[in-house]
Amino acid sequence: MIINLTTHLVTVIKPDGTLVPLVDPFCKVGHAPIDEAEAPGPTRRFVLWQIVDLPEPDGETRYIVSPEVRAVCSDRNDLVVPSCFVWE
């Protein structure tokens, strides 16, 4: 199963070139500011964000997320990002 956690419609192209129908946005992974008191000293001058509402891995589902979410959660192998954009 593929779940789109972005706010954009996504078409998945399989390796054989066939298209998987548009994957509608299912829900949005959010960002919430981290309390400044929780931030390490030197990083307090930056705005820090944490990922919220990201489902836990279940071993069967792939989640389409933004590159920023993927970078923060680099230990997860169930998160994918769009690699090519086609505007229609």
Q: Is residue 88 part of a domain?
A: no
Q: Is residue 49 part of a domain?
A: yes
For residue 34, give its domain range: 2-80
Q: Is residue 86 part of a domain?
A: no
What is the number of structural domains in the chain? 1
DSSP 16: T
Looking at this protein, which amino acid is placed at residue 13?
Answer: I
**What three-state secondary structure class fits 27?**
coil
At residue 76, the pLDDT reads: 93
At residue 44, the pLDDT reads: 47
Q: Is residue 85 part of a domain?
A: no
At residue 24, the pLDDT reads: 74
Task: Quote the CA–CA distance of 45 and 23 in Å, as a whole number.
Answer: 38
At residue 11, the pLDDT reads: 83
Q: Give the chain's residues under pLDDT 70.
A: 22, 26-50, 85-88
Q: Is residue 87 part of a domain?
A: no
